[in-house]
Structure formats: C-alpha cells, structure tokens
Amino acid sequence: MKLAYWMYAGPAHIGTLRIASSFKNVHAIMHAPLGDDYFNVMRSMLSRERDFTPVTASVVDRHVLARGSQEKVVDNITRKDAEEHPDLIVLTPTCTSSILQEDLQNFVERAQLEAKGDVMLADVNHYRVNELQAGDRTLHQIVQFYIEKARKKGELPTTKTEKPSVNIIGISTLGFHNNHDCTELKKLMGDLGIEVNAVIPEGASVHELKNLPKAWFNLVPYRELGLMTANYLQAEFGTPCVDITPMGVVETARCIRKIQQVINAQGANVDYEEYINEQTLYVSQAAWFSRSIDCQNLTGKKAVVFGDNTHAAALTKILSREMGIHVVWAGTYCKYDADWFREQVSEYCDEVLITDDHGAIGDAIARVEPSAIFGTQMERHVGKRLDIPCGVIAAPIHVQNFPIGYKPFLGYEGTNQITDLIYNSFTLGMEDHLLEIFGGHDTKEVITKGISAESDLNWTKDGLAELNKIPGFVRGKVKRNTEKFARDRGFKDISAEVLYAAKEAVGA
Amino acid sequence: MTVAQQPEALNFECETGNYHTFCPISCVAWLYQKIEDSFFLVIGTKTCGYFLQNAMGVMIFAEPRYAMAELEEGDISAQLNDYAELKRLCEQIKRDRNPSVIVWIGTCTTEIIKMDLEGLAPKLESEIGIPIVVARANGLDYAFTQGEDTVLAAMAHRCPTQAPITENEKNERNAIQKLLNFGKKKEDVVQEESEYVDHPPLVLFGSLPDPVVTQLTLELKKQGIKVSGWLPAKRFTELPVLEEGYYVAGVNPFLSRTATTLMRRRKCKLIGAPFPIGPDGTRAWIEKICSVFGITPKGLEEREAQIWTGLEDYVKLIRGKSVFFMGDNLLEVSLARFLVRCGMTVHEVGIPYMDKRYQAAELAMLEKACQEMGVPLPKIVEKPDNYNQVQRIYELKPDLVITGMAHANPLEARGINTKWSVEFTFAQIHGFSNARDILELVTRPLRRNNNLKDLGWDKLVREEAKI
C-alpha cells in the first residue's frame, strides 16, 4: 500500500480509452463499476468535445460479483454494435475487472459471433502498466489486428506510395496540445514535399490501417505513444522510424535531417539544408530571440523542468542549449523509461530526478528556488505557493491547457510558442533589478525541508510592516532569506532591524 | 390553477443502470471540509485516485485532509499483510496531521478482495488511539451522494449515548448552541432557552455548509423548535448525543441508510418530511416537524409567499417550459417538485436509487404539486439507461436537460439546453433564502441562450446523431 495524494500518469484503462476514442467510429466498453466512466467527463470537459464520447460501461455491480457477468458483457457489446454500428468495439478491463478474473476473451469471442463490427479485448494489466504504457500497447494491438486481418484477406498493399510519404503515429485525444502539433507536422511535411499517408489514432478510421505499409517511413513525435506500433511496422515491413521529437530549433533540424537520410536511402534524393537554414534564421523567431538582448538577460538564470519524457527532455535541451539558461535539475515521472530520459538530458542539467512523488518534486523546487519552473499543473501550484512563475509543458493538465488558439509545441511555429512561454515565465527587467536590491537571486543552502513546513519564527509588528512594503513578487524570497538569516543567527523574533541586517548580510 | 383532469399515480420504472454518475467516494471532498478534524483515507486503486484528483479539480492543491491508500499488486494477491500496511499508513497520517478521526472509505477493490475493514478497524483503533470509522462507499453498490449516506450511517454509531454530563456542559457541547450564544452572558442564554417550546430533543442529519446549518437552525427557532445537534457536526469530537426516543429529521433525500441506522440502531424516531429544498419544501419540512411536536406554525405561509414574490423574475423565465432529469445525485425528486411549483413540466425524473419509504412525503408532495399545477405526472426512472434517455430527449425536445458533464457539451452542440447536475450538490440550495440559488442555476442556460438567441448558432454538429 502506498499513501498517495496525486498521480502524474493515470490508470491503464485511461490509456486504452484515449486510443479507442481517438479513432473514428470505434467504441470502447469498460468492464467497470458505476462511476468509473469518468473518462467521458474529462473528454467532454477538457477537450470540449461536441460528440458523445464513444465509451460506455458494462456495469459491474453486486449481481456480477455474486454470479459473474454471464451474458451481460456479451449483451452490452452486441447492443452497442446494433445501436451505433461501430467498426470496432474494444472491451476495456479496469482494475476491478482484472481482479475478478473473468474470462473476458471468451466474452469477446462470443460477442464476435453476433456483432457485425470487430470486437477485441484490450490487452493491458492494470497493476503493471500506467496510462501511457497502456495507450502505446493498445495502439499497437489495434494496428496489428487490422494488418493481420488485411493480410488474411489478401488486401495488404505491397508497394510504397509513388512520392515520399509518412505515417504520423501517436496523435491522440486528451494529449497535450496534440491537435495543434498535428496541424504543424502536416504543414512541415507539406513544406518538405512529403505526403501524409496516415495520421493515427486521432481521427483515423480502422479501415485505413491496412494502408500503413505504403508509407516510406513513420514519424513518432512523442516518446510515450506510438513507438511500439512503429517498431512493429519496422519488423513487419521494414518501414524505418524517425523518433526524434521536432521540438525546439536544434531538434527540429535534427528530425528533418533524419527524415532526409531515411527517404534518400529509399531513392528520394532530397536536400533539406536550405529549408532548415531559411526557417532557422528568418522564419522561426526562436534563433533570433536567442541572439536578442531579451534572451541575454536570461543567461545563467536557474530553472527546473519536470514532465513526461518527451516534453521534459525537449524543454531541458531548449533552455540549456538554445537559451543559455541554467537547468538545475530536470525530471520525469516516466519511471518505466527512465534510462532514455537520463541519456537525453544528462549533459544539459546538473541533476536528473526520476520520481512520481509530487511531494519530492515540491521539496526539490523549494530547495533550489529557481527563477522559473517548467512542469505540469502540479508544479504550477507549487510555484504559486512559493511565488515562482511556472510554464506548463506537460500533462496532467487542466482545461486551460486545451487552448482554442493555435499553439503547437512541435515544428517551427512550435519554437515560437515555446519561446513566448519561456520568456513570459521569467520575471524580468525592473523586477529583476528589484530582486538584486533585496538580496540577489539564489541561495544554495536548503532553507526549508518541506515546502509545507511552518515557520518557527515570529515576525514583530514593525518587521511585518517593513516586509509588506516590499513588492509582492519578491516578498516571498525576501521573507525566506530573512528567516534563514535569523535562523542561522538564532534570532527568535524578526524586527525591521533584522530584516535590514539580513539584506545587508546578503549584499555583503 | 386548474386541477389535473385524471389524477393518476406516479409511474415508476426501472431501466438497465447504464448511466453516468460520480463514484460515491467523491463524498470525501465535501465531508473532509465539513468535519474539520477528520482525515479520509480511501483504500483503493489508481482508478479511484485518478477520479478524485480530476473530479475535485483545484481542491486537490489545497493540502486536502484526504489521501489514497493505493493498493498494489502485493496487496491484491495478499502477499502483503493488510493490517500491517494500514497500520503503517495510519501512523504516518497520525504523525503528519493528528486528526480526531480517520475515516476509511472502502472501495470496489476492497469489496472484491474481501478486505475486512470493519474487523481491522477496532483493533487498529485501540493500537493507535484514534477512532477509525469505516464506510463502504463503493461503485458496486452506490451512486455519488449515497457515499455521504454510508459515512453518516457509520458515524451514527459513534454519537455519544446519554452522555454522563450536567445540563450546562451538555449545552456547551452543542456546536450550534455555542455559536449562537457566542459572546452572550449566562443569564441571556438562560433567557433564550425559554424562547423554545418544550419538546423532545431533535437532531438533524445531513452534511450542509455551515451558513445553511445556521439558516435552517434559525428557521426552526422561529417556531420555538430547538435543534439539539447535527449529524455531522463541525468536528468529530462534537457529534451530537443520541438517546433512545430522540427525534431525527433528514435534510437531504439520499440519506436513507443513515435514517434506517438512526431508527433501528439508535432507537430514534424519524420525522418523515419533504426536504427543505425550495420555499415549498422548506415550509412543508418545518410544518411537518411542528406537527410532530404539536406546535402550530407561525407566519410560514407569509414567509413562503414572500420568497415566491422575490423569485418572480426567475420563475417568469421557466414558467411553461419543460425539464428532463437524467438522474445522478438523488436530489431529482425534490428539485422536480420545486420546478413543477415554478410552473415547469417535468418529462422524466431519472434517479439512481429510489427509497419510496424514506422519500414518501417528498413523492406525495410531487404528486400533489403536479395535480395542483395541472401538469402531467412525470415518469420516475430508477437506474436509468443514458443511451435510451438521449433517444427520448431527441423525441421530447425538452427546454432543459439536467445532466452530468459527460452529456452536457454533446447535447448543447445539438441545440439542447443543459444544466450540469453536480452543481446542485455543491451549491447552497436548502431553506427559504437559498431558493434563489436553485433558480439561478436552473435559469442560467436559458438566460445565456436568451443573450445569444439571434446568432443562429444553435446546432453546431454537422450530422445528426446516428440512431
């Protein structure tokens, strides 16, 4: 048992449902108790879906507990098949159903006899994988199912498309800025003269899946979703996979060069160097920003980064390599894929943090006192409490992270958006000056162990009055510095004198 | 108003139970705020945690006094010892938060693996010295607000019996009394006592925000009725005394287990009344309590009329319109009754669970309201089927659908006005003064759409839903 208040990645069935409901005309039926269909609320609220989320529950209640689901699951599948005529119904186990150990595969086979559409059981173990791993696995499972089905029917295309083409794999519902990223990637492919053969799973029909082998290569923009599918396609059809996330100027160029290499190996004979140069120097504003005076002011500022593998790794590289910002630590909650993360970021930050404990992250932020945080909604709230600005770069996210305006993170427009996000997160100019006046930036030592630790010090009336004269955005830091000073010297009460003595001590 | 042509009885139906609602563990969100010295430990899986974290939104960041005891594979397969694991976590909670009570919320998983929480709790309680209350608020058995019912039913066992204390101290124990007496001299208090009619002690049950508690308590005080205590009180240590023969009354329609526990186990007498939701409900609630104590209510009719007058600008907007409750929080019957009084027609009252005995007075009042207002009686659908309901909604084209968030946006996109049902659970809707808040919620989509009506943006989906 584990005491937990907050989790970064959801349970496995959420991953499966995200994949199933990303496809067009695919319905998921959860084998779950009442109330577990909260996914529908999230999808309807967060991504403001106009259509009913194609997820229903085959409710597990007392009767099911006593005598098993019996006909219930099969009836629910065939009923949904008749009502909505989905191409595919994915039976989704939940934590509850996985301990009931009912033979769901058998239900699927029985329902398949009657159902016009296809029926499959999502193959995920609730107690071993999380949302991200389950999503990756379910996408692979669905692709494999339809490739094999087409092969049996002899419908599998054997030739590649005439012009270079790509499958974009891993765009899904409730993914962080996924829709905008998808648009940006399509535009990028258009610029490069590459046809988009398929985008999966978002908006795809399962009937298109048999055409996946026609693409010259697969592009997997996110580390968390799509690699299993791409590896499968590589093993089956030798389709090469480009898995460099085009996030940030340098990585976008690296991704494009890799694409060039992959398609030239198949006889395309393209040269993208001129395009990369043009975009980097004149179209994207990010490279110019790095050179500008604004960015100069950011030099050496401290930041911390936390999120999923894709976004935390990319942001760390952008901050450190493209803007000269000092990333004190970078972390991920993708513990199952920690080695990859370490390898990606270790040369761009002082320390790597692998954890899914938000308390540990909060304390690590309090210890470092960075000028800005780049993290999830949880880190944003830690930042609020510590008076440190935060840019949200990864899920878990709230409704405000599903903007209506065009805000990709990938490609050249993505570099502009990220630049704005970073620049706006730091406190600058006059504020910066004030920070200097009141005791500089960064204190190396640990001031408080836990961020919720109560202060044992007493502020006197005049001390408090003096503190309140300090501008709000630096007050927290001045307060902490003064308290540290008082604690070091054994003062119990903090008066105005102590406050100014602390300021002088730091200034000296 | 015209009398209905054919006074038929309410029609009860039961569907498949394929409907959307919140998991009953959501009750921790409001109960931990209500019971200030409590800590709620939900013993379940990541699924439960994910629900709480997302459903409670920003509250999760306010250092809540609740947490998950997240079960791992070792717990499921009994490789780990339940007792040792729970002891470890509860000791940590005691160390970090020092609560006066730890409430264990049993979930679907603890049911299926048959974790004997009721058996483990007393043993652990004596070992760590903190009361442990066990409530099985799981999705196998209950829906949404019924979670509170399971917690309060468990708490009812903890209420002191005939506490061996003097009359003065007893008064002191009473939180509301203390609140009302705050800053007053002893003589004043004694004098105030005389304002009450001599009646057997009355304890109210149901968790309400403190301002609403005060409002309802004062409302009864006007009739000379003294509220001896509330289940739950602001603190676990202030749970009301319950002696045999005390009278109890519910303030919410989903508290049937608590009512049963109070009657059967604590030998209290239940006052079966409609619930104090809407001015009509509040008046009927007070009148029923008065009648039990043989008191003639004073000034209630004028009070109700005055509230209705104040509501007229909102009632005007909904009079003659129709409403469809998809059903997810058990407040549906009371709200439907109030809306009928406002002049609405109710097509259907979906409800997760219908306790016809506990809600008897409320159902009778609904029937009467329909007859007096001359509108057809609604169909009451227990354990509804959301898919079928959506088909019925397409057919009936109601002016307003009260529904969960899963269906609200898709229905809006199809030109159907919706109100998110969960807001009724969290808003203050009880008593005379909060009637306006109910209508504020009900009329909001209509007012919004009045503002937008000339834009021609009603239906925002390309094809109609497939049948």
* Complex ipTM value: 0.88
Tell me, what's the pLDDT at B181? 53
How is residue B130 written in tokens? 């903190």
Tell me, what's the pLDDT at A490? 82
pLDDT digit string, tens, across residues A4-27: 888 899 999 999 999 999 999 999
Tell me, what's the pLDDT at B282? 97
Pick the closest to residue B103 from B46, B64, B49, B65 (CA basis): B65
Tell me, what's the pLDDT at A158? 83
Query: Is the Cβ of B423 closer than 8 Å to some Cβ of chain A?
Result: no
Q: pLDDT tens, position by position, for chain A (508 residues)?
A: 989 888 899 999 999 999 999 999 999 999 999 989 899 999 998 888 899 999 999 999 888 888 888 889 999 999 999 999 999 999 999 998 888 888 999 999 999 999 999 999 999 988 889 999 999 999 999 999 999 999 999 999 989 999 999 999 999 999 999 999 999 999 999 999 999 999 999 999 999 999 999 999 999 999 999 999 999 999 999 999 999 999 999 999 999 999 999 999 999 999 999 999 999 998 889 999 888 887 888 888 899 999 999 999 999 999 999 999 999 999 999 999 999 999 999 999 999 999 999 889 999 999 998 989 999 998 998 888 888 889 999 988 888 889 999 999 999 999 999 999 998 888 654 465 566 666 555 544 444 445 544 567 788 888 888 887 777 667 777 888 888 888 888 888 888 888 878 877 765 4
Query: Is the Cβ of B24 closer than 8 Å to some Cβ of chain A?
Result: yes
pLDDT digit string, tens, across residues B199-255: 999 999 999 999 899 999 999 999 999 999 999 999 999 999 999 999 999 999 999
Gap between the Cα atoms of A185 and A168, Å rounded: 8
Tell me, what's the pLDDT at A348? 96
Tell me, what's the pLDDT at A508? 41
Tell me, what's the pLDDT at A428? 53
Tell me, what's the pLDDT at B183? 53
Which candidate from A51, A62, A126 shows the least CB-CB separation from B140? A62
CA distance B330 to chain A (A): 15
CA distance B17 to chain A (A): 8
Active site residues of A: 294
C-alpha distances in Å from residue B204, one per residue of A219, B177, B271, B280: 63, 14, 10, 19
* B33-41 average pLDDT score: 94
Q: What are phi and psi of A325, to 5 degrees?
A: -90, 145
Nearest-10 crossing angle of helices B405-413, B386-396 = 30
CA distance B3 to chain A (A): 40
Checking if the pLDDT of B3 tops 50, the result is: no
Q: What count of CB pairs under 8 Å joins A to B?
A: 162
Checking if the pLDDT of B364 tops 80, the result is: yes
* B122-133 average pLDDT score: 95
CA distance B316 to chain A (A): 30
Tell me, what's the pLDDT at B189? 52
Report DSSP state, residue B239.
P
B79-88, B181-190, B332-341: segment of lowest average pLDDT: B181-190
C-alpha distances in Å from residue B64, one per residue of B61, B87, B89: 7, 21, 16
B149-163, B177-191, B277-291, B345-359: segment of lowest average pLDDT: B177-191
Percent of chain B exceeding pLDDT 90 equals 76
Query: Is the Cβ of B463 closer than 8 Å to some Cβ of chain A?
Result: no
Tell me, what's the pLDDT at B190? 54
pLDDT digit string, tens, across residues B431-463: 998 999 999 999 999 888 887 777 877 777 776
Question: B73 contacts in A (CB within 8 Å)?
Answer: 127-128
B370 is in an annotated binding site: no
Query: Is the Cβ of A41 closer than 8 Å to some Cβ of chain B?
Result: yes
Q: Which residue has the tokens 């009359």?
A: B167
Question: A33 contacts in B (CB within 8 Å)?
Answer: 23, 108, 138-140
Q: Are A358 and A8 in contact (CB under 8 A)?
A: yes
- Helix runs in A115-248, H state only: 131-153, 178-191, 227-237
Query: Is the Cβ of A96 closer than 8 Å to some Cβ of chain B?
Result: yes
Tell me, what's the pLDDT at A433? 52
Pick the closest to residue B425 from B440, B438, B415, B414 (CA basis): B438
Query: Is the Cβ of B319 closer than 8 Å to some Cβ of chain A?
Result: no
Checking if the pLDDT of B62 tops 70, the result is: no
Question: B108 contacts in A (CB within 8 Å)?
Answer: 33, 60, 96
* pTM (global) more than 0.90: no
B14 is in an annotated binding site: no
Tell me, what's the pLDDT at A453? 44
How is residue A300 written in tokens? 């050496």
Tell me, what's the pLDDT at B176? 54
Higher-pLDDT residue of A463, B47 = B47
Gap between the Cα atoms of B253 and B327, Å rounded: 13
C-alpha distances in Å from residue A267, one per residue of A164, A190, A217, A260, A263: 9, 19, 13, 10, 7
Can you state the percent helix, strand and coil of chain B, rounding each to 5? Answer: 50, 15, 35
Q: What are phi and psi of A237, to 5 degrees?
A: -120, 0
How is residue A200 written in tokens? 């999966």
Torsion B40-B41-B44-B48 (CA) sign: positive
Q: Are B176 and B213 in contact (CB under 8 A)?
A: yes
Residues 43-102 on B with a CB inside 8 Å of A are 43, 45-47, 49-51, 53-55, 57, 60-61, 63-64, 66-73, 75-76, 80, 85-86, 88-89, 92-93
Gap between the Cα atoms of B405 and A451, Å rounded: 35
Tell me, what's the pLDDT at A447? 46
Which candidate from A44, A59, A76 shows the least CB-CB separation from B408? A44
Tell me, what's the pLDDT at B59? 60
- Distance in Å from the first CA to the final CA of chain A: 50
pLDDT digit string, tens, across residues B63-118: 788 999 999 888 888 888 999 999 999 999 999 889 999 999 999 999 999 999 99
DSSP state letters, B25-48: GGHHHHHHHHSTTEEEEEEE-HHH
The binding site of A for [4Fe-4S] cluster consists of 36
* B159-168 average pLDDT score: 68
Query: Is the Cβ of B109 closer than 8 Å to some Cβ of chain A?
Result: yes
Gap between the Cα atoms of A166 and A193, Å rounded: 11
